[in-house]
Structure formats: C-alpha cells, structure tokens
Amino acid sequence: MKLPGSTEWVLHCATTLAQLDPGTSASTTQLAQYYDLPAPYLAKQLKTLVRAGLLSATTGPRGGFRLARPATEITLLHIVEAVDGTSSPYECREIRQQGRGALPADECRRDCILAAKMAEAHQAWQHSLAGVSLADIVADLPPTAPARTRLRLTGTA
C-alpha cells in the first residue's frame, strides 16, 4: 500500500503556494528549483491539482500556479486524493460468493462485514486528512518561514 512519490511533491508545493502573497503565482520552474524536482513531471502533477480545482494556472510572464481557494479550504485529503484518487486501498472481489462456500445472493445484499470494516478504516484515514488544511500546516511553520519561502522562491520577500 503505497501513495505515489509525487504525493510529497504536491503537498509541499501546495504548502509553498499557501505562503505566497494573495494574487501572486509561482511557476513550475520556480517550484522545481525550490525543491530540486524534475520540472516536466512536476508540471504534470501541478496540472492534476488544477483539474481538481485546488490550484489555478495563470499565463504570461508572471504566470504560474496559485491556490484556487483560501488555504483554510484546501485540506490534505483534497491534495492526496487529487493525485491518488478516492478509492479505498482494499478491493473486495466478493470471493464470499464463489467456490464451494459461495453464499446465496440473498445473504449478500449487505456489504461483506470484512469489506465494511476495511471501508471504516479508510474513512478514518480520510477523516484524519480532511481535518488538516493548508492553513493549519502554514500555521505550524516558524513565523519567519513564509517570508523566507517567498524570497527564495520568487526573489521577492
């Protein structure tokens, strides 16, 4: 059970964008240099966040990416599910309905109790991540972090 390696990239890039002044953007090149990541593949991930409605892409000489809504309204779950989807890691193929032990259909109207418990665990994971916004993450950084982030990323504090 592994999330894509790019999950770390997008979580950090979104956290970085959450530290920019309102209205400013950061380009793929700036973000790639900031974290020493391969720009073409990072661009692909950032576009995924745009499609998910979490980032906005702007064009032009000062174009790039910015948050599409306030940092208080973007959770870690939004970001992780944008790159990895919303499905549970557990796949129920209904083996209870096959083989010598196959249950009759009328006993399978309710979800399998094992699938239900695995789904509950996934919901607990989702609930945990849904409770943390980018604003919460930024609030946990040292007070001097946002100014330094802006300076290093865009050259403007």
Contacting positions for a second copy (CB under 8 A): 1-3, 5, 7-9, 11-12, 15-16, 32-37, 76, 80, 84, 89-93, 95-96, 98-102, 107, 113-114, 117-118, 120-129, 132, 137, 140-142, 149, 152-153
Nearer to a second copy, 105 or 124 (CB): 124
Nearer to a second copy, 59 or 93 (CB): 93
Which amino acid does the sequence have at 34? Y
Backbone angles phi, psi at 108, to 5 degrees: -115, 20
Give the shortest CB-47-to-a second copy separation in angstroms. 19
Pair type for strands 64-67 and 55-58: antiparallel
Nearer to a second copy, 23 or 142 (CB): 142
Q: How far apart, in whole angstroms, are the C-alpha atoms of residue 35 and residue 32?
A: 6
Nearer to a second copy, 4 or 70 (CB): 4
Question: Would you state the structure tokens that stand for residue 143, as one six-digit string?
Answer: 């007070």
Give the shortest CB-126-to-a second copy separation in angstroms. 8
Q: How far apart, in whole angstroms, are the C-alpha atoms of residue 104 and residue 109?
A: 10
Question: How many C-beta atoms surround the C-beta of residue 150 within 10 A?
Answer: 18
